[in-house]
Amino acid sequence: MSELYQALAQGLLIGATYGLLALGMGLVYGVSGVVNFSHGDFISLGMFMCLALYSAFAMDPYVSIIITVPLMTAIGALVYIFLIRPMVGHQFLMVVQLTLGLSLVLQNGILMVFGGEPARTPSFVESKLIILGDVVLRVPHIVAFVVSFALAIGLYIMLRSTDFGRSIRAVHQNAHAAALMGINVGRVQVLTFALGIGILALAAALLLPGTPIQPTQGLRYTVITLLVVVLGGMTNFVGIMLGGLIIGIAEAFGTIYLDGPIGLLLPYIIFVAIMLFLPKGLTWSSAR
């Protein structure tokens, strides 16, 4: 029974961070219709930025967000303006090819600068544990859980209660009508993409303590994010967070209870099983 509680706790904590990763993709897709296949490589870029800051200034990953988040937000804006915006409205496959190419550029750029060996970025909370009976919780996972849910709630309030949030929702519903109402659609799309990349920089710092990193890890995060957004609904905040928790729990159960490839495949098996019964994802179930 203790293993069950451990798996549930571990899955919930890491699943919240997966939900945060997916919120960035959901925001971008909702406003511009772009599915960013370089999503995971931006997460990897954020992690290696934290590594560079630690190597140069001994800066803890949690402290480094004061630099990495604004920097990656600016990078996101530039990427959208010069690379993605010219492709928006063209064939979907052209945008897919562009983001896949961007993924290769980021991956190989990181490889050239940092090399191919796995690396770690220490943190002052990396080895700290909280023991609740038979359940052992890592403090970095707890921090990631709390910050992820706090940011998700903040984003939800922003979308509902601010002019910028209402502009995002208007562009999502009908970009042409939003433009006729005086909303600068292009500006909203740029800022939303930049916000999505900034969220990834924060998520990268939350995932980093105690986690070995390497330049090729981006694909894994992209696949996990796609699982979560498809499972939860591309633009459904509640569904996305719930989807992140489901994938996180499935991953934890696979790690603890199953050995070998089956354990690694469990999140994908559960994803397929859910989609067979709920082909529209958790958006369908939440609308009932």
pLDDT average, residue stretch 67-93: 91
User: What per-residue confidence (pLDDT) applies to 32?
Assistant: 86
Instruction: Give residue 275's pLDDT band: very low, low, confident or very high (50, 70, 90).
Output: confident
pLDDT average, residue stretch 242-260: 88
User: What per-residue confidence (pLDDT) applies to 1?
Assistant: 65
- Alpha-carbon distance of 99 to 88, in angstroms, equals 12
- Are 32 and 174 in contact, with CB atoms under 8 Å apart? no
- Are 123 and 62 in contact, with CB atoms under 8 Å apart? yes
Residue 191 predicted with pLDDT over 70 = yes
Residue 282 predicted with pLDDT over 50 = yes
- Are 23 and 226 in contact, with CB atoms under 8 Å apart? no
pLDDT tens per residue across span 133-190? 888 899 999 999 999 999 999 998 999 999 999 999 999 889 999 999 999 999 999 9
Between residues 259 and 120, the one the model is more confident about? 120
Residue 285 predicted with pLDDT over 50 = no
Q: Is the pTM of this model over 0.75?
A: yes
- Alpha-carbon distance of 150 to 197, in angstroms, equals 18
- Alpha-carbon distance of 203 to 221, in angstroms, equals 11
Query: Coil, strand or helix: which one is 128?
Result: coil
Residue 287 predicted with pLDDT over 60 = no
pLDDT average, residue stretch 79-86: 93
User: What per-residue confidence (pLDDT) applies to 288?
Assistant: 38
- Alpha-carbon distance of 10 to 132, in angstroms, equals 13
pLDDT tens per residue across span 46-74? 999 999 999 999 999 999 999 999 999 99
Q: For 151, phi and psi rounded to 5 degrees? A: -70, -40
Query: Coil, strand or helix: which one is 137?
Result: strand
Average pLDDT, the chain: 90
Instruction: Give residue 220's pLDDT band: very low, low, confident or very high (50, 70, 90).
Output: very high
Instruction: Give residue 91's pLDDT band: very low, low, confident or very high (50, 70, 90).
Output: confident
Instruction: Give residue 283's pLDDT band: very low, low, confident or very high (50, 70, 90).
Output: low
Choose the most confident range, by mean pLDDT, from 34-48, 244-258, 266-280: 34-48
Q: Which DSSP state fits 136?
A: E
Residue 286 predicted with pLDDT over 70 = no
- Alpha-carbon distance of 236 to 242, in angstroms, equals 10
Query: Where do the DSSP E strands lie in the chain?
Result: 129-132, 135-138
pLDDT average, residue stretch 35-48: 95
